Amino acid sequence: AQSVTQPDIHITVSEGASLELRCNYSYGATPYLFWYVQSPGQGLQLLLKYFSGDTLVQGIKGFEAEFKRSQSSFNLRKPSVHWSDAAEYFCAVGGNSGGGADGLTFGKGTHLIIQP
Amino acid sequence: GAGVSQSPSNKVTEKGKDVELRCDPISGHTALYWYRQSLGQGLEFLIYFQGNSAPDKSGLPSDRFSAERTGGSVSTLTIQRTQQEDSAVYLCATSGGLRDTQYFGPGTRLTVL
């Protein structure tokens, strides 16, 4: 069965500093990988996704993620965070249909706190 | 509409009552998913519809949960004889098809007293 691990439950970063959120996955074949963000009281918004091709993917709001097959990782990065980036971040993996009949499997989430 | 909509936004019910949660997909989206988000379990996949095909129900936590999709559009998730452990946010997502991005609705917060 597929699984996703986000090792950091909480991360605190100063505004303007760089950010890396870790994500490790377990999946038997080529995974389809996603990062979603959830602000308080809001639904999930897609930041970026990896299906195939270039292993460095660019997303919205200045985020990027790199797929590393050898490490089973898909870490999310941003060079300079803004206070508005404070939110819950979820990594997810989908099956070979991009989340078809099995839906997406989500990690437990990382809560990002931005210090002024 | 422009996005996925869900109703009601909040639902408080008494243990043992039945509840219905509704999801209106983005127009033209053929795939529809239900997820549950709770503090203890995180985000869990429940059920998936593709067009008018029979859904994959393997993720439903018990036989008290059922879902249907009318005419390949609006979906209803029904929970019978609600229990306190059913308290959670129920999220609906839709996509244009396989390998397409899933767009999530704002969710329905269910509280079972």
pLDDT-based confidence at A42, cuts 50/70/90?
Answer: confident
Cβ distance B35 to A103 less than 8 Å, yes or no, reads yes
Beta-carbon separation of A106 and B43 below 8 A? yes
The answer to whether residue B35 neighbours chain A at the CB level (below 8 Å) is yes
Q: Is B96 in the A-facing interface, judged by CB distances under 8 Å?
A: no
- Chain A nearest-CA distance from B53, in A, is 11
Higher-pLDDT residue of A2, A62: A62
When pLDDT is cut at 50, 70 and 90, the band that residue B78 belongs to is very high
- Percent of chain A past pLDDT 70, that is, above it, reads 93
Select the more confidently predicted residue: B98 or B20.
Answer: B20
Give the DSSP letter string of B32-96: EEEEEEETTTEEEEEEEEETTSPPB-TT-SSTTEEEEEGGGS-EEEEE-S--GGG-EEEEEEEES
Question: What pLDDT is attached to residue A102?
Answer: 64
What is the C-alpha separation between A65 and A49, in angstroms, rounded?
8
Average pLDDT value for residue range B91-95: 93
Chain segment A87-115, per-residue pLDDT in tens: 999 999 986 544 555 688 999 999 999 99
The alpha carbon of residue A44 is apart from the nearest alpha carbon of chain B, in Å, by: 6
B95 interface with A at CB cutoff 8 Å? yes
State whether residue B42 sits within 8 Å of chain A by CB. yes
Residues in chain B within 8 Å Cβ distance of A107:
42
